[in-house]
Chain A
């Protein structure tokens, strides 16, 4: 099955060679094949719920980080775009549940890299990879994913959702490694926060990726769409919403107090960036190992070399769009599963609808 892998190369960035060099690629595909080949059921119930992929993944859900207002007031810096044709690349990954079997769920993960080359956006999509997650297969999945970082399973959450999230995260980290090692002198945009905990399995991996990036003179910027960092009880992103023009709010790390159950480790300097006058403000983490001047410069370079739509970098927006699943993607994946594994698609009756008819309209609290 591995022999079927066909990699296409992009004109400028030769990711594919590195893809083959990375052990995870084969393991990831083998893992997908192994979990899927263990489907013993004859039927599966399809599912198309696109909303799930738009909620933040478990890894991105931070514990509460408070900025101690008494220690230091945040500093607001004006941003001037610096246009020097620094390449901008963005990475994102998504996962979605595509169906259920008697023993678990079938999900799919997909990643995307988008970059701007000679004023033209280009992309590389990786996946989708289907996985059958069951109580039995989760151990194998976590074992494979844990080979390059130990994972402690969070028993308080549904293991199916958590494993799906872990798979998505693993694919995203894998792509981040590849990109960090294969390009140079670029700005790499990530989705989420530059933080890791002992429980999310990247305690060592994330610093390693940052080192890869630095060694190739790349800078990683991480954008969080929803941040829990608060200052005097307010979200920090609300602090600069009324500011005119592009600006940056700098959070002094010494003023942070982290209330974490998971031994949270911040690897980036936290900023709140408002990149356009009418746009939203986002939390932006910049590699902490860089000097303050370098951190400011890289945000100004981003502003000067990428389009900004509603305060969000266009390259990262496209990466998100290319990685997320549409309904037709899900139907296509379901068709693949049904055909490849001989499963018959069935729609099991809804107990809720059977009992309550039109009166039990769906929410769990009904």
Chain B
């Protein structure tokens, strides 16, 4: 492999057919003269822009082409020509630099084209370099080099971790592995499960219960997950009405008055709210707007006047801890899209 060029955070490397490099591989560009090494990852593999390749392709016979031919090539030079024609251009993203044995995110230096050597960096070696030795390993699976790869559950704690990737790359799969790994070490995991894809984490493929089954509790809004208006609070309800249900400003102001009126009289309930809107002295259009949103909230079945049916998170977590001796995996499956949107914003 030969270093071709560097543009910003990307380097282009020329690779030949006998060098087994594919998309996703890590490479180390070692510049011995400067004593530094650059760690890069192949993000795309393209054909190298070999001069004359167009002419060559146009004249060379294709498999189903009417041309057929033989070569008398005693020096086997044709293999060298084909070797050159099959050269590839590796587009690589720079991930960091190793200098004096320390890894840094520096990508501003330029390795020497003539003195640098480029080799594949095994994932195991990479994990050593980035010091990924795990106290609480979560095994993520196998790399393309058939070595196992694990990350430290401890290092996920207290940080904002974002999984990104294209559609089908395996983001959900990875997050499920992380969830199960975290549960295993007794971490609390709360999932807002928009598509209901996590609810079966406690089951094997054959439908049998697995070791996580008892630790996973699914809360479904409107069924076993309800709250009272008081639990939700005015601020949350106002956000639902304004942002999710598009309540106009004048109507929102009237709603706030109604809420405070009921709150002061200790009458805050769904039933009293409906009654208050009906009796409230205001413009008929405002009244209609408030009623339509009121019935929407009512039909979600997420709100209840029965305190016994309402779920309190803190109490629930405490209860689960008492029952199982360790915190648990709490799964909220959300079904009403508008409601979900608001809850996400919260």
Q: Which of B70-78, B185-193, B209-217, B296-304 lies at the interface?
A: B70-78
Q: Which residues of A contact B163 (CB under 8 A)?
A: none
Interface string of A118-139 (1 = CB under 8 A from B): 0111111111111000000000
Is A328 within 8 A of B56, CB to CB? yes
Q: Which of B80-88, B105-113, B273-281 makes up part of the contact surface?
A: B80-88
- Is A339's beta carbon under 8 Å from chain B? yes
Contact A124 B69 (CB under 8 A): yes
CB-based contact B68/A331 at 8 Å: no
Interface size bucket, B side?
20 to 34
Q: Measured between alpha carbons, how far is A327 from B78 in the docked complex, in Å?
A: 13
CB-based A-B contact count at 8 angstroms: 101
Nearest CB of B to A111, in Å: 9
The distance in angstroms between the C-alpha atoms of A126 and B74, with both chains bound, is 9
Q: Of all chain B residues, which has the CB nearest A332?
A: B81
**C-alpha gap A120/B67 in the complex (Å):** 6
Nearest chain A CB to B74 CB, angstrom units = 4
From 297 to 349 in chain A, residues with beta carbon under 8 angstroms from any chain B beta carbon are: 321-322, 326-333, 335-336, 339-340
Contact A7 B69 (CB under 8 A): no
Quick one: which of A5, A119, A329 contacts B81, CB cutoff 8 A? A329
A217 within 8 A of B: no
Decide: A126 near B53, CB < 8 A? Known: A328-B84, A336-B77. no
Which residues from chain A contact B130 at a C-beta distance below 8 Å? none
Q: Are A321 and B70 in contact (CB under 8 A)?
A: no
The reply to whether the CB of B233 lies closer than 8 angstroms to some CB of chain A is no
Complexed CA–CA distance, A129 and B71 (Å)? 12
Is B165 in the interface zone, CB < 8 Å from A? no
Residues in A with CB closer than 8 Å to B101 are none
In the complex, which residue of chain B has the Cβ closest to the Cβ of A322?
B59
Bin the interface of chain A by size. Answer: 35 or more
A126–B70 CA distance with the chains assembled, in angstroms: 9
- Please tell me if B325 contacts chain A, counting CB pairs below 8 Å: no
**B67 contacts across to A, CB distance below 8 A:** 120-123
How far apart sit A322 and B73, CA to CA, in the bound complex (Å)? 14
Contact of B75 among A48, A125, A130, A321 (CB under 8 A): A130
The verdict on A124 contacting B52 (CB below 8 Å), with A328-B81, A328-B84, A332-B82 known, is no
User: Does B59 contact A328, Cβ atoms closer than 8 Å?
Assistant: no
B134 within 8 A of partner (CB): no
Contact B81 A125 (CB under 8 A): no
Given A332-B82, A336-B77, the answer on whether A123 and B50 have CB atoms closer than 8 Å is no
- Least Cβ–Cβ distance between A325 and chain B, in angstroms: 8
Residues in chain B near residue A321, CB distance under 8 A? 59
Any A CB within 8 A of the CB of B66? yes
Residues of B within 8 A of A58 (CB): none
Which residues of chain A come closer than 8 Å to B59, judged between CB atoms? 321-322, 326
Q: Whose C-beta in chain A lies nearest to the C-beta of B60?
A: A322
Given contacts A130-B75, A339-B80, contact A332 B70 (CB under 8 A): no
B160-195 with Cβ < 8 A to chain A: none
On chain B, the residues within 8 Å of A130 by CB distance are 75, 77
A266: interface (CB < 8 Å)? no
Alpha-carbon gap, A123 to B55, bound state (A): 17
Task: Determine the chain B residues whose CB is within 8 A of the CB of A10 once the complex forms.
Answer: 70
Asked whether A331 lies within 8 Å of B69 as measured between CB atoms, the reply is no
A: which residues have CB within 8 A of B? 4-10, 16, 19, 29, 32, 48, 50, 108, 119-130, 321-322, 326-333, 335-336, 339-340
Interface pairs A-B: 3 shortest CB-CB: A332-B81, A327-B52, A326-B52
Given contacts A19-B72, A119-B66, 16 further A-B contacts (CB under 8 A): A9-B70, A10-B70, A29-B74, A50-B52, A120-B67, A121-B68, A122-B68, A123-B67, A124-B72, A125-B71, A125-B72, A127-B72, A128-B77, A327-B51, A328-B53, A336-B77
